[in-house]
Amino acid sequence: MITLGVPSKGRLMEKTFQWFAARGIEMRRTGSDRDYGAEVADMPIDLRLMSAGEIPRELAAGRIHLGVTGSDLVQERIPAWDQAVEVLAEMGFGHADLIIAVPAWWVDVRTLEDLDAVAADFRATHGHRLRIATKYHRLVRDFLRDAGVADYQLIDSQGATEGTVAHGTAEAIADITSTGETLRANHLAILEDGLIHRSEATLFRSRGAHWTDSSRAALGKLEERLR
83 binds another protein (CB under 8 A): yes
Between CA 180 and CA 97 the distance in angstroms is 9
With respect to another protein, which residue has the nearer C-beta, 89 or 117?
117
With respect to another protein, which residue has the nearer C-beta, 209 or 222?
209
- State the nearest-atom distance from the C-beta of 109 to another protein, in Å: 9
- State the nearest-atom distance from the C-beta of 219 to another protein, in Å: 23
Q: Is 20 helix (H, G, I), strand (E, B) or coil?
A: helix
170 binds another protein (CB under 8 A): yes
- Candidates 62, 120, 135, 215; binder of another protein (CB under 8 A) is 120
49 binds another protein (CB under 8 A): no
With respect to another protein, which residue has the nearer C-beta, 187 or 225?
187
180 binds another protein (CB under 8 A): no
With respect to another protein, which residue has the nearer C-beta, 55 or 147?
147
List Cβ<8 Å contacts ≥24 apart for 35-44: 36/8, 38/6, 40/4, 43/218, 43/221, 43/222, 44/1, 44/2, 44/214, 44/217, 44/218, 44/221
What is the per-residue binding string for another protein in 14-43, x denoting contact by CB under 8 A? ------------------------------
152 binds another protein (CB under 8 A): yes
Count of CB atoms situated within 10 Å of the CB of 8: 17
Exposed (0-12), middle (13-18) or buried (19+): which is 36, by Cβ within 10 Å? middle
With respect to another protein, which residue has the nearer C-beta, 134 or 199?
134
Exposed (0-12), middle (13-18) or buried (19+): which is 114, by Cβ within 10 Å? middle
